[in-house]
Amino acid sequence: SCHYWVDWTNLYDFIIILFGLIEIIWNLFVQKQYSAIRNLLKGFRLLQLIRLHRIIRLFDGLQLLTQALMKTVLTYTFSVVILVFLFIYIVAVIGQILYGRSEDSLWHHFSTSLSIATRLTLVDNWNLIEPELENHGSPPISRWFLIIIVFVGNRIVTNVLVGLMIESVSSVNDDYMKEKREKKNLRNQKKREELSKRTTQIFNTRASDTNSKTNRIEQTKELIKSKLNWLHNEIISPKDFIFLIDWLEKLVACSEKSQIEVKSIHRLIIHNIQSLSYVINENMKKNEYKLTKLDDKYHDNSNT
């Protein structure tokens, strides 16, 4: 409901409906002698024509033509009006000189001369003026005067307006395409920035995961080496070597479901078993050597 009042088109519809309700209530309950107010309320119905703006917004072509027309009206209206007025003024002066000598002629007064020149320029019942020109002047000159004014005046007005409209449409189209390209480039730039951010985040995440896995593997190796050193130094007896295998199996079970990490830990287990077997063999050899020495001493003592 809050967003409804933000859009100006919704406010416009609300105002139209409000004035319509006021008109209905006024016609029902207020005396009818207030015709001016009633006509004023009816005049607000013309505001409904602005609803065409919604239809124009749906189509890019209509929107483009509307912008071009508004640009033409706002930019060139004053210049075109001045040009047409100067042409009409010149025609009125020439007509008054050629046909305004007699007082009963329509060209005698400058105001009526301007009116006739306007009719000729805008081609408004211009063929009815020809008898008036022939009666107060030379027929050949009147015909050429009429043809030149109608042709030049009409063509100037029409071609100037059409040319200005085409130029405005071209200019508005260029601005529209430029704005469209800028919006497209801006969207593409935002997409590239988001893609680069995501790529950087993925690379950083993978790098941190790789570093953490590498650190865990290195820590595991160091721990295995330290325990193997303890076994070699006979700090831990060889018969307790099974604890290391259990520890590595728990590490495999608790590790992430990464094949590379599991394979590396399996290799560590195999290497550990080989190292432990080597240590056990060495310790067994040492024990056998000690036993042989004890047997030799025992035999020597028995012989003596």
- DSSP helix/strand/coil, 106: coil
| Separation of alpha carbons 147 and 154, rounded Å | 10
- pLDDT band of residue 134 (cuts 50, 70, 90) is low
| Separation of alpha carbons 277 and 275, rounded Å | 5
What are 63-113's pLDDT values in tens digits?
777 777 777 777 777 777 888 888 888 888 888 888 777 777 777 788 888
| Averaged pLDDT, 255-269 | 60
The total of other beta-carbon atoms located within 10 Å of residue 155's CB is: 10
Amino acid at 274: Q
The whole-number pLDDT of residue 235 equals: 46
- pLDDT band of residue 220 (cuts 50, 70, 90) is low
- DSSP helix/strand/coil, 109: coil
The whole-number pLDDT of residue 303 equals: 64
Q: Does position 62 have pLDDT exceeding 60, yes or no?
A: yes
Contacts of 265 (CB under 8 A, 6+ apart): 217, 220, 248, 251, 252, 255
Mean of the per-residue pLDDT values of the chain: 72
**Residue 236's closest CA among 249, 246, 227?**
227
Sheet strands (E) in 55-132: none
Range in 85-89, 252-256, 265-269 the model is least confident about: 252-256
For residue 163, give the H/E element and its range. helix 139-232
- pLDDT band of residue 46 (cuts 50, 70, 90) is confident
The whole-number pLDDT of residue 262 equals: 60
Amino acid at 157: V
Spell out a b/e string for 281-300, using b for 16 or more CB atoms within 10 Å of the CB, else e. eebeeeeeeeeeeeeeeeee
Range in 203-217, 240-254, 255-269 the model is least confident about: 240-254
- pLDDT band of residue 236 (cuts 50, 70, 90) is very low
- pLDDT band of residue 241 (cuts 50, 70, 90) is very low
The whole-number pLDDT of residue 242 equals: 47
Range in 53-62, 220-229, 231-240 the model is least confident about: 231-240
| Separation of alpha carbons 193 and 187, rounded Å | 10
The larger pLDDT score, comparing residue 233 to residue 165, is at 165
The total of other beta-carbon atoms located within 10 Å of residue 65's CB is: 17
Write out the two tokens for 117. Answer: 């020149």
The whole-number pLDDT of residue 243 equals: 47
Q: How far is CA 279 from CA 161, 237, 283, 284, 292, in A?
A: 105, 10, 6, 9, 20
What are 167-210's pLDDT values in tens digits?
777 777 777 778 888 888 888 888 888 877 887 777 677 667 66
Cβ atoms of 153 and 91 closer than 8 Å: yes
| φ/ψ (deg, to 5) at 10 | -65, -40
Q: Does position 240 have pLDDT exceeding 50, yes or no?
A: no
The whole-number pLDDT of residue 104 equals: 72
**DSSP letter assigned to residue 194:** H
**Residue 267's closest CA among 233, 220, 210?**
220
- pLDDT band of residue 238 (cuts 50, 70, 90) is very low
Which of 43-47, 111-115, 276-280 has the highest average model confidence (pLDDT)?
Answer: 111-115
Dihedral angle, C-alpha 285, 291, 294, 296, nearest 10 °: -80
**Percent of residues in the chain assigned helix, strand, coil, to nearest 5:** 85, 0, 15
Cβ atoms of 169 and 141 closer than 8 Å: no
